[in-house]
Chain A
Amino acid sequence: MKRELQRIEIPGEYDARRRTWEIVRAAYGEREPVTWPRRHARQLAFAAAAFAIVAAAVTPPGRSVVNSIRDAVGREKVAGVRNAQRELVRLPAPGRLLVQSPRGAWIVQRDGSRRLLGRYDDASWSPHGLFVAGVLHGRELVTLEPNGTVRWAKPHKQPLAYPRWSYEGFRIAYLAGSTLRVIVGNGTADRLLGAADAGVAPAWRPGTHEVAYLGANGWVRVVDADARKLLWRTPPGPDGVRALTWSDDGSRLLVLGRQSVSGYLASGRLIRRVPTLGPSRAAAFAPGSHRFALTVASNVLLVDGDTMRFPSRPLFTGPPALGDAAWSPNGRWLLIGWPAADQLVFARVGRSPKLVAVSNVSRQFLSRSFPGIGGWTVSIAS
């Protein structure tokens, strides 16, 4: 075959070659002489990067980067944040954590003690942390107290997922098969709301009974659950939808795509759609703020939800990829899952940033795989 392709004679090949060389040589002669900085741009960039790494080592968020680079080169293993605690002995901020492992849902108290609630999936806190909703065996919607006492259970024929509480706990939205349903918080008046994508959790708008969800046709829909009325909808971006989340005051909705994030006003007007330049994982608004944490590949970014402008540097970097993110109830700490390092990283945000990390997370939750973060809620006493 190669011989046959080479044997094909092309008319005028010699002249074409001569003409082309003349033009290429002329273009080469006209190009600007390369200055020293341009010629040595690679070396300069390398030196700058080396300086940045050294500089990063003196800041707590940077230490994780340094460790990761060393491990990737040396041991081909992500060691995570240096001096991480081997046990989760205390949460750095008040409240309780809900952790989802393959063994089930766990509650972690401020003092680090943890309780396995049972084999519940997709567990979520009620607004004040008085109850937990979860899915048992994939087909039973269950609400229970944090001590494990079941309040009520509702079985379904279809597979269930993502129960989510409204702001005051009077409604729970959940997915049943490819539909969105809403049930009153005491387990009565279960109603179908519409066809939904089974892969994205619904999100209640705080202070209302309006719920945002991903419709079966890929459009994001915001409906009044009590009136069963569509309020507005928006077409899908080219990269689909991964998650939906509202700001505390209910004035901003984030639509997280696989490669972008879009901010909307409560009226449905788009603020801005921004490419994330990497696979997005999670987004979470800081309590009482329009600022949100965005996990993209190995970076956590703090983004202003009013302008949707990205910061110049990430809050934290953990190669090769980070997982879930959840804010402490007081909004001062951000909890980040780092599966490759098997660590939970608590990053204090503000004028005096600080990192606290816990390693061996999978083992602590009796699992071989890294657990998910279900939420960080207030203490019952508070």
Chain B
Amino acid sequence: MAERAWIRGAQRGSASDLEALFREHWSRAYRAAYLVVHDSAAAEDIAQEAFLAAVRALDRFDRRRPFGPWLHRIAVNRAIDWARASKLRAEAEERDVAAPDAPQAGEWMLPALASLDPEHRAVIVLRYLLEYTPGEIADLLDLPRGTVNSRLRRGLDRLKEGLE
């Protein structure tokens, strides 16, 4: 209910309501993007783009719909695109890419995630960080539900292999 009020307030020009929305959602959007692209600067750009898109579409936004999934759809899809493009660039230019930022906690998880394709990372992040159901993930990524389930299973299997 608070979220609807924030959206209504932001639509009417209240910067404090927009800030409340930002506080509520930025961290999760940024983290989700980071876990897909493994690059903090890129994750910042992606989360920023997602919020700017939200500001541009604010007047048209349907308050009955939850804001989070809408924002996460933009952020995760852009993160997948970025990761794919980054991989292609690295292959095409045959140059060293910057080493990923070194985490201080959860350090076993990040390299294990890095071994997955961006598409597999995305469904793992949407399922286990943002806690969407497979059906909701299918909607967010415009994928068949079976594809989401198979990516989840394959992703988890490969994470386990990586940890072993």
Which residues does A use to contact B, with CB under 8 Å?
1-2, 4-13, 16-17, 19-21, 23-25, 27-29, 31, 33-34, 38-39
Contact = CB atoms under 8 A, between A and B. Distances in A.
A7 B31 contact: no
B149 interface: no
B52 A23 contact: yes
A5 B125 contact: yes
B48 A2 contact: no
Interface of B: 10-11, 13, 15, 18-19, 22, 26-27, 30-31, 34-35, 40, 43-44, 47-48, 51-52, 55-56, 58-59, 101-106, 108-110, 124-125, 128-129, 131
Given A10-B34, A11-B101, A13-B27, 13 more contacts: A1-B128, A2-B129, A5-B31, A5-B109, A7-B105, A9-B106, A10-B43, A16-B44, A19-B48, A29-B15, A31-B55, A31-B58, A34-B59
Contact of A8 (B18, B105, B124): B105
B17 to A, nearest CB: 10
15 contacts: A1-B124, A4-B109, A8-B31, A8-B109, A8-B110, A9-B103, A9-B104, A11-B40, A13-B27, A16-B30, A20-B30, A20-B47, A21-B22, A24-B51, A31-B58
Nearest to A8: B106
Contacts of B125: 5
Given A10-B34, A34-B11, A5 B18 contact: no
B26 to A, nearest CB: 6
Contacts of B110: 8
A7 B34 CA distance: 13
Given A5-B109, A10-B101, A21-B19, A16 B40 contact: yes
A27 B15 contact: no
Nearest to B131: A2
B40 A10 contact: yes
Contacts of A38: 59
B15 A20 contact: no
